Structure 1
């Protein structure tokens, strides 16, 4: 167990340097490309309820997907952290970037009064990460929020990142959840495909 923790910590540290070196312009261009790709995917076309995150300055910005959802009548929700139980709770978002808290740890989330949705209603979850591998392995920030949530839903799971964040093998433990698809500006990796 300790060696798994050490392997994850080492990969996080290596990726922090990679991520810090990427310019804001590169993040913006990559975000546009990833959003355009998601909008063409069957997982998106078949979804009525989409869960996504509000990005930090060093994550893929999903504004293009959120705005497409708004235009086409899809429901968008975002994760809200319940710190007492260390869980994510899907909360409905009415308009991209509105009704969000001030950043905590650099992360904005829906206000407490936002309507909650059960995980069973979500068709598609788009998640960030520090690093991914071609088999749907995902390395997050280390608290396990997304893994605990993803294990409770049957929704299709898409990870998004830059090509530089793809590694051959993400160290995975028993509680880690593999994603169905990982999308970068240049590639798409399907688990088992």
Structure 2
């Protein structure tokens, strides 16, 4: 199945997912994230500001703050590139042309090398660690030369058997599901 069709199928499944079921899955997955050494060892964590369709990342952001970690959030740039900006309760946010909440353009970006863990969003994942995102390629471009750790949080409805991996697709280090943590680079 083509990525475009997989996206449509998974979006439909996520939209039809019972809110209570989604919250139960998210609770297990996020609790597991907080127990990983990748989380414990990271001082600076990158995470998106989730949309309704996605697993709610606000819990992750607040937990990071409570542990005195630096939280950084993405901001789309020209040419399908992105950077990350430190996010606090006082960070000015705007709605992007994609309908995403992002830091305003004039805030200073953090260096990629300072980010120790990125919680990478996506729509669909296979156990090999490859993901299908929302179609812009922003994360794959950013991750191409990223040296830190990557983790994706995977709801049951986002699991797929396989898809055609393109040369620009970047493998995620760890997938956290409701059942297990998958180390994709063993």
Q: How does the TM-score come out when normalised to structure 1? A: 0.88
| 4+ aligned runs moved over 4 Å, structure 1 | none
Deviations for 1:10-69, whole angstroms, at most 9, x for unmatched residues? 211221221121123333333222221111001111101100001110111122221121
Residues 26/45 of structure 1: CA separation in 2 closer, same or farther (3 Å cut): same
Q: SS in structure 1 opposite 2:86?
A: strand
- Residues of 2 paired with 1:71 and 1:17: CA distance? 35
- Indicate the residue corresponding to 2:25 in structure 1: 30
- Indicate the residue corresponding to 1:3 in structure 2: none
* 2:11–2:53 CA contact under 8 A, matched in 1: no
Matches within 5 A, 1:1-193: 7-82=2-77, 84-95=78-89, 99-102=92-95, 104-193=97-186
Deviations for 1:41-100, whole angstroms, at most 9, x for unmatched residues? 011111011000011101111222211211121111000001x2211111110139x532
Number of aligned pairs?
186
1:118 is displaced (CA, Å) by 0.9
- Residues of 1 paired with 2:107 and 2:88: CA distance? 9
1:103 is displaced (CA, Å) by 5.4
Structure 1 gaps of 5+ residues are 1-5
Q: SS in structure 2 opposite 1:10?
A: helix
Q: How does the TM-score come out when normalised to structure 2? A: 0.91
- Residues of 2 paired with 1:153 and 1:17: CA distance? 32
* 2:124–2:158 CA contact under 8 A, matched in 1: yes
Structure 2 gaps of 5+ residues are none
- Residues of 2 paired with 1:33 and 1:58: CA distance? 18
Q: SS in structure 2 opposite 1:59?
A: coil
1:179 is displaced (CA, Å) by 0.2
1:171 is displaced (CA, Å) by 2.3
**Superposed CA RMSD:** 1.8
